[in-house]
Amino acid sequence: MRTAFLIAMLVASVSAAAAPVRVSLWRHETDPVELEAGLQAVARFNSQQQRWFLDAETLPQETYTSSIAAAALAGQLPCLMTLDQPVVPNFAWARHIRPLDDLVLPETLASLSEGGKGAYRGHIYSVGQFDAVLVLFAKRSDLDKFGVRVATMNSPYSAAEFHDILRKIKAQAPRLFPLDLNSRSVGEWISYAFSPWIQSAGGDIIDRKSQRTADGFINGPPARAVARWYQSLFAERLVEQRVVDDQGLIQGRTVFHYSGSWEVVRYSQQFGDDLVIMPPPDFGHGPKVGAGSWHWGVSATCRYPKAAADFLEFLLTPAEIAAASDIRALVPTTEAGAALSNYYRTGSPFRIIYEFARAYAIKRPETPGYPKISSAFEKAMLDIRYGKSVDDALDAAADAIDDDIRRNVGYGF
């Protein structure tokens, strides 16, 4: 009896020793297909090794960032978590997440595009498999109808040319709003979509060298010129003040749709070869597009950094990046991932969007103060849309941002 008992205890001990370590992981809830694919990636990691078991929990996207912040203050963060790239510097500044320089291999980090890395003060704090890219969509048949050329990477529309094109279309079809700017979308869309116009004009929404002032930048000459151009689109009824839905291009209520790469599958299925994918307009220094989507970070309190490192390296393999991309035509953050993807490999129908990401991408300012920058810029652009003085709106934004930076002692810069 005693011998049998000892054998049983030994077997149990060996089994316990061999059991994988459970590691907590949080991710935001998104499109059901994309969410399921993300959870399948976690399952693949769990099945391909026996050392770790990632215990995944999902949280609603609408309240995800605030939930992460609350958990951080309570000391209840998971080991691994998704993070929206623009807020990464804020979590790094607050010491809620740890740098990844010693967790992710240098060659892996070097392979990532601009939008695939989140940084603060020279250190990488997050990595991502995919990005989103700003695009100007149209139908070739519509452009032919109005006598408008197709813009290309070698010859994008200048801001002046594009304005003239919109006016020409409006003159021929007064009931149309020639351009759809997703004007029913507010929040982060405003900064993501329109701050690249300022960067294309040679300006910015903050001094990126010091990260300590917005005065002279968000209200500088390039920003003022872009804001006046933007205001004129609404004043001349070239853009609808607030569109009712996202069906304008499909229903023929507009000719151009300035939106993101997330629309390309829907439009491709609707229009086939009639779809035209063009770069955003050039305000003088080449087209620019926002970079940085959902990333992965590691909490400062994570007890199993080796597990985090193993998982991040797994996610950043070409096969996993391609798998993530193929779900909803998400733009891969490595060339090797793009080469395996259905949508973005060389010769594929959407390859041009990947080229936009490589040529035009610029991340939103990597400062802990970015949430304030974004909200101040949003307010200014909405005020400008509805007729407020451009100078007054942008000066107010500069004051609000600089006040926030002073209150937070420069956010570590």
Task: Supply the DSSP symbol for 348.
Answer: S
pLDDT at 58: 96
Residues 303-319 have a mean pLDDT of: 97
pLDDT at 117: 97
pLDDT at 333: 98
Evaluate if residue 3 carries a pLDDT over 80.
Answer: no
| Domain range summary for the chain, segments of one domain joined by + | 17-132+292-354, 134-289+369-412
Contact (CB, 8 A) for 344 and 325? yes
134-289+369-412 to CATH, choices 3.40.190.10, 3.10.110.10, 3.40.50.1240, 3.40.50.300 = 3.40.190.10
% of the chain residues with pLDDT over 70: 96
pLDDT in tens, 363-405: 999 999 999 999 999 999 999 999 999 999 999 999 999 999 9
Quick one: 17-132+292-354 is in which CATH superfamily? Periplasmic binding protein-like II (3.40.190.10)
Q: How far apart are CA 390 and CA 374, in angstroms?
A: 17
Contact (CB, 8 A) for 292 and 363? yes
Mean pLDDT across the chain, nearest whole number? 94
Task: Supply the DSSP symbol for 176.
Answer: -
pLDDT at 242: 85
- The DSSP string of 286-326 is ---EEE--EEEEEBTT-S-HHHHHHHHHHHTSHHHHHHHHH
Q: How far apart are CA 191 and CA 194, in angstroms?
A: 6
Evaluate if residue 17 carries a pLDDT over 80.
Answer: no
pLDDT at 9: 42
* CA torsion, ordered 178, 135, 153, 317, to nearest 10 deg: -170
pLDDT at 6: 43
The phi-psi region of residue 183 (left if phi > 0; otherwise alpha if psi is between -120 and 50; otherwise beta) is alpha
Of the listed ranges 3-12, 39-48, 49-58, 64-73, the least confidently predicted one is 3-12
pLDDT in tens, 205-224: 999 999 999 999 999 999 99
Residues 8-20 have a mean pLDDT of: 53
CA distances from 214 to 344, 361, 388 (A): 37, 21, 20
What tokens were used for 186? Answer: 């507010």
Q: How far apart are CA 100 and CA 13, in angstroms?
A: 35
Residues 3-12 have a mean pLDDT of: 43
Residues 164-180 have a mean pLDDT of: 97
Nearest to 233 by CA among 162, 140, 151, 158: 162
Identical topology for domains 17-132+292-354 and 134-289+369-412: yes
pLDDT at 349: 87
